[in-house]
Amino acid sequence: MTELSFQYMLEVNDQPDHANQFASLIFDGHCQFTAENKGFSTGLELLSPSYCYEQIYSSSPIIKTATDKLVTAHSDHFLWAISWVDESAFSNLVEATEFVYSQLLNLVADAGFPYLVRVWNYFERINQEEAGLERYKQFCIGRFNAFRLSGLDEESFPAACALGHSGGQLVVYLLAAKTRPIHFENPNQQSAYFYPSVYGPRSPSFARASAVAIDDAHSLVFVSGTASVTGHKTVHSYDVENQLIVTFNNLDALEQQIQHLLDYPCSLTPRLLKVYIRHATDLDQIKHAVEQRYPEVSAVYLKADICRADLMLEIDGIWSLLRT
């Protein structure tokens, strides 16, 4: 086992190995830390399979810390951290997001893991308008503000996703590293941080993918939430079948771009997928298409609202990159 590995535990009898575990993530529609199995509920609801924990492991010893609604775990080279807050303690989502991100960015800097590799963001009512501005756009302002205050610019933006759940709290968790990852953009899509102002006062602050070295021959590539977007525009609004085609094409284009930009020959293989689905009634259609496209890849299907109201699904995941 490398110092960093991810896997899905799909059987009830599978028992997490707490000793060398960064985290255990649960998809049960709640936002909470579960002491019994040391798991963190993400707020997302699992549609398929019927049971799943996501385990993040290390081959080296883990040091863990916990304060009120902030938990961290780190090995020699990687740090994982999660924060979740009740929005009612803040005046708006902008303020809540900026608080959480500032807290996490200060943490990783102080702990000596200054490079963000991947961030997962989940909160409720993502497409709802409040005080004249969609909540996703409010979130983007808060995240941008925290990045700016920390000195983080677009060249250091990590891979990320932002989905809506029904769990009631803002949940942010991240992976940071001591060594700088490589960030990638998708040739089919405009860089999110250069989106025009129609998408909000502050553009989304993330890369399309981020690769971090595990050893001399092996890297993990974290692919951001990918959907039916070409350039900066949604294509095939509300159309599940055609959105699947564009999403797959975007994932293929990103894979090809990564291999093209690296200065050494390599193979790139998908290992784990998360498939976010707006309407549970679309599960069978989406699952069938994903299984046909990625027949050997472990995938979980989660009920979630996508960051644009006309998007019906989004896919992210982890790819294995090997020098050849």
Place of tokens 């997962």: 120
Contact 161, 121 (CB under 8 A): yes
Task: Show the DSSP H helices in 58-204 as ranges.
Answer: 93-111, 135-150
Task: Report the half-sphere exposure of 243 (CA within 13 A, side-chain side).
Answer: 26
Residues belonging to the chain: 324
3-state secondary structure of 250: helix
The Cα 217–Cα 31 span in angstroms is 37
Contact 237, 227 (CB under 8 A): no
Place of tokens 């609801």: 45
The Cα 310–Cα 136 span in angstroms is 14
Q: Is 314 annotated as catalytic?
A: yes
Whole-number CA gyration radius for the chain: 18
The Cα 69–Cα 55 span in angstroms is 20
Contact 74, 62 (CB under 8 A): yes
Contact 212, 180 (CB under 8 A): no
Contact 298, 255 (CB under 8 A): no
DSSP 237: T
Residue of 54, 87, 255, 314 with catalytic role: 314
| Ramachandran angles phi, psi of 296, nearest 5° | -105, 10
| Ramachandran angles phi, psi of 204, nearest 5° | -60, 140
Contact 183, 159 (CB under 8 A): yes
Structure tokens at 281: 């009634």
Positions marked active-site: 314
